[in-house]
Structure 1
Amino acid sequence: MDIRVVFARNLKHYRQACGLTQAALAAAMEVDRAHVSAMERGQQNVTLQTLQRLATHLDVAPAKLIEELSELE
Protein backbone atom coordinates (compact mmCIF):
# COMPACT_ATOMS: atom_id res chain seq x y z
CA MET A 1 0.00 0.00 0.00
CA ASP A 2 1.18 3.53 -0.74
CA ILE A 3 2.84 5.08 2.32
CA ARG A 4 0.79 8.26 1.85
CA VAL A 5 -2.43 6.25 2.09
CA VAL A 6 -1.20 4.45 5.21
CA PHE A 7 -0.13 7.73 6.79
CA ALA A 8 -3.41 9.44 5.87
CA ARG A 9 -5.50 6.64 7.37
CA ASN A 10 -3.43 6.53 10.56
CA LEU A 11 -3.43 10.30 10.97
CA LYS A 12 -7.21 10.45 10.74
CA HIS A 13 -7.60 7.49 13.10
CA TYR A 14 -5.32 8.89 15.81
CA ARG A 15 -6.73 12.41 15.44
CA GLN A 16 -10.26 11.12 15.95
CA ALA A 17 -9.12 8.87 18.81
CA CYS A 18 -7.84 12.02 20.55
CA GLY A 19 -11.21 13.69 20.00
CA LEU A 20 -9.68 16.41 17.85
CA THR A 21 -11.22 18.02 14.80
CA GLN A 22 -9.02 18.89 11.85
CA ALA A 23 -9.38 22.53 12.86
CA ALA A 24 -8.27 21.84 16.43
CA LEU A 25 -5.22 19.87 15.31
CA ALA A 26 -4.36 22.55 12.78
CA ALA A 27 -4.62 25.26 15.43
CA ALA A 28 -2.39 23.30 17.82
CA MET A 29 0.19 22.89 15.06
CA GLU A 30 -0.23 26.46 13.82
CA VAL A 31 -1.08 25.37 10.27
CA ASP A 32 -4.17 25.78 8.13
CA ARG A 33 -6.99 23.25 8.48
CA ALA A 34 -6.71 22.61 4.72
CA HIS A 35 -3.16 21.36 5.31
CA VAL A 36 -4.40 18.77 7.81
CA SER A 37 -7.18 17.82 5.41
CA ALA A 38 -4.69 17.34 2.55
CA MET A 39 -2.51 15.13 4.76
CA GLU A 40 -5.54 13.01 5.71
CA ARG A 41 -6.41 12.57 2.04
CA GLY A 42 -2.88 11.47 1.17
CA GLN A 43 -2.36 14.51 -1.02
CA GLN A 44 0.39 16.09 1.04
CA ASN A 45 3.90 14.76 1.49
CA VAL A 46 5.06 15.51 5.00
CA THR A 47 8.53 16.16 6.32
CA LEU A 48 10.01 14.23 9.20
CA GLN A 49 9.64 17.36 11.31
CA THR A 50 5.91 17.48 10.54
CA LEU A 51 5.62 13.77 11.33
CA GLN A 52 7.26 14.40 14.71
CA ARG A 53 5.02 17.39 15.47
CA LEU A 54 1.89 15.41 14.58
CA ALA A 55 2.99 12.49 16.74
CA THR A 56 3.61 14.84 19.65
CA HIS A 57 0.19 16.47 19.36
CA LEU A 58 -1.52 13.08 18.96
CA ASP A 59 0.53 11.49 21.78
CA VAL A 60 1.72 8.55 19.66
CA ALA A 61 5.11 7.36 18.50
CA PRO A 62 5.98 8.73 15.03
CA ALA A 63 6.27 5.16 13.74
CA LYS A 64 2.57 4.60 14.52
CA LEU A 65 1.67 7.17 11.87
CA ILE A 66 3.41 5.23 9.09
CA GLU A 67 2.82 1.67 10.28
CA GLU A 68 0.37 -0.48 8.33
CA LEU A 69 -2.23 -1.53 10.88
CA SER A 70 -4.80 -4.10 9.83
CA GLU A 71 -7.36 -2.93 12.40
CA LEU A 72 -7.53 0.44 10.64
CA GLU A 73 -8.25 -1.08 7.22
Structure 2
Amino acid sequence: MEGDLQKLLGRNLRAYRQARGLSQEDFAELLEVHRTYMGGIERGERNLTLKSVERIAEKLGVDAVTLLQS
Protein backbone atom coordinates (compact mmCIF):
# COMPACT_ATOMS: atom_id res chain seq x y z
CA MET A 1 0.00 0.00 0.00
CA GLU A 2 1.12 3.52 -0.73
CA GLY A 3 2.68 5.27 2.24
CA ASP A 4 2.99 2.14 4.37
CA LEU A 5 6.77 2.47 4.63
CA GLN A 6 6.41 6.11 5.69
CA LYS A 7 3.96 5.10 8.43
CA LEU A 8 6.21 2.25 9.56
CA LEU A 9 9.19 4.58 9.82
CA GLY A 10 7.06 7.05 11.78
CA ARG A 11 5.87 4.37 14.20
CA ASN A 12 9.43 3.15 14.73
CA LEU A 13 10.71 6.66 15.40
CA ARG A 14 7.84 7.33 17.82
CA ALA A 15 8.57 4.08 19.67
CA TYR A 16 12.28 4.94 19.82
CA ARG A 17 11.45 8.42 21.17
CA GLN A 18 9.03 7.12 23.78
CA ALA A 19 11.46 4.40 24.89
CA ARG A 20 14.00 7.15 25.57
CA GLY A 21 11.39 9.17 27.48
CA LEU A 22 11.76 12.14 25.12
CA SER A 23 9.11 14.63 24.13
CA GLN A 24 8.57 15.15 20.43
CA GLU A 25 10.21 18.55 20.77
CA ASP A 26 13.29 17.13 22.52
CA PHE A 27 13.53 14.35 19.95
CA ALA A 28 13.31 16.85 17.10
CA GLU A 29 16.09 18.88 18.70
CA LEU A 30 18.26 15.76 18.98
CA LEU A 31 17.70 15.08 15.26
CA GLU A 32 18.17 18.76 14.40
CA VAL A 33 14.75 19.12 12.74
CA HIS A 34 11.74 21.31 13.59
CA ARG A 35 9.20 19.73 15.93
CA THR A 36 6.36 20.10 13.42
CA TYR A 37 8.47 18.30 10.83
CA MET A 38 9.12 15.54 13.37
CA GLY A 39 5.39 15.25 13.99
CA GLY A 40 4.81 14.86 10.25
CA ILE A 41 7.40 12.11 10.10
CA GLU A 42 5.85 10.27 13.05
CA ARG A 43 2.40 10.49 11.44
CA GLY A 44 3.75 9.12 8.16
CA GLU A 45 2.96 12.36 6.32
CA ARG A 46 6.53 13.11 5.24
CA ASN A 47 8.11 11.37 2.28
CA LEU A 48 11.74 11.16 3.37
CA THR A 49 14.62 10.49 1.04
CA LEU A 50 16.88 7.56 1.76
CA LYS A 51 19.59 10.08 2.56
CA SER A 52 17.34 11.61 5.25
CA VAL A 53 16.61 8.18 6.73
CA GLU A 54 20.34 7.44 6.83
CA ARG A 55 21.06 10.80 8.50
CA ILE A 56 18.38 10.25 11.15
CA ALA A 57 19.58 6.70 11.80
CA GLU A 58 23.15 7.91 12.17
CA LYS A 59 22.12 10.55 14.72
CA LEU A 60 20.24 7.86 16.67
CA GLY A 61 23.13 5.41 16.47
CA VAL A 62 21.11 2.72 14.72
CA ASP A 63 21.22 1.11 11.29
CA ALA A 64 18.87 2.73 8.76
CA VAL A 65 17.35 -0.66 7.95
CA THR A 66 16.31 -0.98 11.60
CA LEU A 67 14.08 2.08 11.23
CA LEU A 68 12.35 0.50 8.21
CA GLN A 69 11.66 -2.94 9.70
CA SER A 70 8.36 -4.01 11.18
Give the TM-score normalised by structure 1: 0.77
Q: Which structure 2 residue ranges, 5 or more long, are not aligned?
A: none
Runs of 4 or more off by more than 6 Å in structure 1?
none
Give the alignment's Cα RMSD to 1 decimal: 1.6
Q: Percent identity?
A: 40
Deviation at 1:44, TM superposition (A): 0.4
Deviation at 1:24, TM superposition (A): 1.3
Give the TM-score normalised by structure 2: 0.80
Q: Which structure 1 residue ranges, 5 or more long, are not aligned?
A: 69-73
In 2, are the aligned partners of 1:23 and 1:33 still within 8 Å (CA)? yes
Aligned residues: 68
